[in-house]
Structure 1
Amino acid sequence: MEHNTKIYIAGHRGMVGSAIWRKLEAEGFTNITGKTSKELDLRDQQAVKQFFAEEKPEVVIDAAARVGGIMANNDYPYQFLMENLQIQNNLIDESHKAGVEKFIFLGSSCIYPKLAPQPLKEEYLLSGRLEETNQWYAIAKIAGVKACEAIRKQHGKDFVSLMPTNLYGTHDNFDLRTSHVLPAMIRKFHDAAKNGNTPVELWGSGNPMREFLFVDDLADAVYFALNNKLPENLYNIGTGKDITIKELAVLIQEIVGHDGEIIWDSSKPDGTPRKLMDVDKMKNAGWKATTSLKEGIKRTYGWFLQNSENYKQVKL
């Protein structure tokens, strides 16, 4: 791509979108655009249509979504299904109608069946039942993957879907009501350490295994996809390595400096037993993650400390 190519990042203020923006700027791109949710409601079809008519982006990166952890998904299933469908459908359809040739759709590893073989291969999509606690979000994202695949098949456009594993990093959501497991742990251990190393209570048994990807690595994968015409429509983005939730807790506890007890509430749900991505397809295409989990958590906690008075709050 030329450095003056007009690139629209939907969700540019979020953790993922802002990381992609930083990456593109660092690589010398000068014509990047984004709109806040107040400036452009992506759920509003007419507003999105007007935006495309006025701005005429050449490349679109869809990093916009309603996201949250187990509790948020469980408490607000309709919003997680409908709003994600509205956002992505408007972006995909208007990109197609406006002649956008390069579209990158970002989703999540939760699109794969709960009990699919490990590690998760792209071919396992729609081969079994989804995890109940986040099926609403997953169904929306699956629809987005299939919409991009359909445009690619019918119209030959370079619409590609990248499915990252569990993401974390700077600009994450540390609100305990709506955050994902890793930033929630950082917040809990930090608060407990400040309060005299009080015990930290965590959900579940701690036995499930999870893979985590530093958000700057995802931004690097998006940059790679922008500069290469990938031959297939769906790619997993991850490290190919996982860790138990208990091991993650101990690692975060050490980095934060908390010396208290960890209490596991086994009455709370564990979610999927294991979610490890098979990343061979993207690796064979020429890209792999480079940030270790320990280094990524250190960088995330450093950012958290600098912004600890301004926790990102999500209004539902």
Structure 2
Amino acid sequence: MAVTSLDRSARTYVAGHRGLVGGAVLRHLQQLGFGDLVTRSSSELDLRDPVAVEAFFAEQRPATVILAAAKVGGILANSTYPADFLSDNLRIQVNVLDAAARHGSTKLLFLGSSCIYPKFAPQPIREDSLLTGPLEPTNDAYAIAKIAGVLHVQALRRQYGLHYISAMPTNLYGPGDNFHPTGSHVLPALIRRFDEAARSGASSVTVWGTGAPRREFLHVDDLARACVHLLEHYDEPEPVNIGVGEDLSIREIAELVAEVVGFQGELEFDTSKPDGTPRKLLDVSKIKSFGWEPRITLRDGLKQTYRWYCEQLETGQLQRT
């Protein structure tokens, strides 16, 4: 197990810096004093293009890479466009991982997702549950791509002795999230739905599913701290879970969001819509054994995220439906 501080002066590439995760990682690295941070927007560098990625790595030669770039979405997007989620994510991962290995990147963190684990994995889900059962059908294409990324990291370690690692975050939220009315994950979707209901004076809000599934949520700033912590304290082939180790039902989460937003109407559950995985709580004993703990409670994180959402609305960065 390697325990080595990251060189704050070495070139560090954050792939996906305009997304929820990459943006938080970039902010955290800036706060820590990393002086040679490299980023590229998707319009500047299409990570699905192997020629462009090869040229970028040949020119920049980053010492450390944090691969947070991915095509992501909620249940609706994943189940509607499975080919896109599989193809885009596979290409991004293969291009970045192979180019990093060819051009001397000595440390790399690949960020996957807790959806890689079997739908009915024992709870809380341990890292060794990977590949022990069938996946949740609504996001199996995305999950297969992320599983391929984990195995790719392990293959690079075996073949070339590289210090590349993988981390599997639980459900994430925070400033910079996607609040699109149909393409977002459950928490930003609820924030938007309850906010619009509160502003319009609606008497009720409809939530997808039965409200029974349980979900764990981690603030993205806590994830960013975990990424740096792992790069400095972990060097093994097995992926590491990142989460809080506690979960709530979708009903409880919806009630908490309604409270934070100030919506006082009724909650209705549309049971014709899919629930997804019944429970997805991660076992986080491994990362906690390395000295990392989450710091931001769900209530405080929701308040902060809702403030950010309102600021984006007021400045025209987000459009109301």
> What TM-score comes out, normalization by structure 2 length?
0.95
| Matching residue of 1:249 | 254
Say if 1:173 and 1:312, in contact at 8 Å, map to a contact too: no
Alpha-carbon distance between aligned partners in 2 of 1:167 and 1:229, rounded to the nearest angstrom: 22
Deviations 1:130-166 (A, max 9, x none): 0000001000000000000111122221110010000
| Matching residue of 2:301 | 296
1:261 to 261, 266, 283: 266
Taking only the aligned residue pairs, the percentage that are identical comes to 51
**Bigger shift: 25-34 or 195-204?**
195-204
Structure 1 residue 16: Cα displacement: 0.5
Q: Answer yes or no: is 1:41 the counterpart of 2:46.
A: yes
Deviations 1:67-107 (A, max 9, x none): 00000001111100000000011000111111211010001
Give structure 1 regions of 4+ aligned residues with deviation exceeding 6 angstroms.
none
Alpha-carbon distance between aligned partners in 2 of 1:211 and 1:294, rounded to the nearest angstrom: 13
Deviations 1:187-221 (A, max 9, x none): 00000000013311110000000000000000000
Alpha-carbon distance between aligned partners in 1 of 2:93 and 2:287, rounded to the nearest angstrom: 23
Alpha-carbon distance between aligned partners in 2 of 1:15 and 1:288, rounded to the nearest angstrom: 20
Say if 2:127 and 2:238, in contact at 8 Å, map to a contact too: no
1:311 to 292, 314, 318: 318
Structure 1 residue 2: Cα displacement: 2.1
| Matching residue of 1:137 | 142
Alpha-carbon distance between aligned partners in 1 of 2:157 and 2:301, rounded to the nearest angstrom: 35
Q: Answer yes or no: is 1:181 the counterpart of 2:157.
A: no
Say if 1:111 and 1:125, in contact at 8 Å, map to a contact too: yes
Rate the CA distance shift 1:312–1:120 in 2: closer, same or farther, 3 A. farther
2:231 to 208, 226, 230: 226
- AA matched with 2:66: I
| Matching residue of 1:206 | 211
Q: Answer yes or no: is 1:117 the counterpart of 2:122.
A: yes
Structure 1 residue 167: Cα displacement: 0.4
Alpha-carbon distance between aligned partners in 1 of 2:286 and 2:91, rounded to the nearest angstrom: 30
Alpha-carbon distance between aligned partners in 2 of 1:96 and 1:311, rounded to the nearest angstrom: 38
| Matching residue of 1:279 | 284
| Matching residue of 1:59 | 64
Structure 1 residue 275: Cα displacement: 0.2
1:196 to 192, 201, 216: 201
Alpha-carbon distance between aligned partners in 2 of 1:30 and 1:7, rounded to the nearest angstrom: 9
- AA matched with 1:292: T
Structure 1 residue 229: Cα displacement: 3.8
Say if 1:152 and 1:233, in contact at 8 Å, map to a contact too: no
Structure 1 residue 226: Cα displacement: 2.4
Alpha-carbon distance between aligned partners in 1 of 2:164 and 2:218, rounded to the nearest angstrom: 23
Q: Which runs of 5+ in 2 are unaligned?
A: 1-5
Give the length in aligned residue pairs: 313
Q: Which runs of 5+ in 1 are unaligned?
A: none
> What TM-score comes out, normalization by structure 1 length?
0.97
| Matching residue of 2:73 | 68
- AA matched with 2:281: L
| Matching residue of 2:113 | 108
Alpha-carbon distance between aligned partners in 1 of 2:50 and 2:318, rounded to the nearest angstrom: 31
1:12 to 9, 17, 28: 17
Say if 2:165 and 2:236, in contact at 8 Å, map to a contact too: no
| Matching residue of 2:3 | none
Structure 1 residue 232: Cα displacement: 4.4
CA-atom RMSD in angstroms:
1.2
Query: 1:159 is paired with a residue of what secondary structure?
Result: strand
Query: 1:227 is paired with a residue of what secondary structure?
Result: helix
Deviations 1:18-77 (A, max 9, x none): 100100010111100110000000000000000001111111110000000000001111
Query: 2:105 is paired with a residue of what secondary structure?
Result: coil
Query: 1:167 is paired with a residue of what secondary structure?
Result: strand
Say if 1:217 and 1:290, in contact at 8 Å, map to a contact too: yes
Alpha-carbon distance between aligned partners in 2 of 1:64 and 1:270, rounded to the nearest angstrom: 27
Structure 1 residue 225: Cα displacement: 1.7
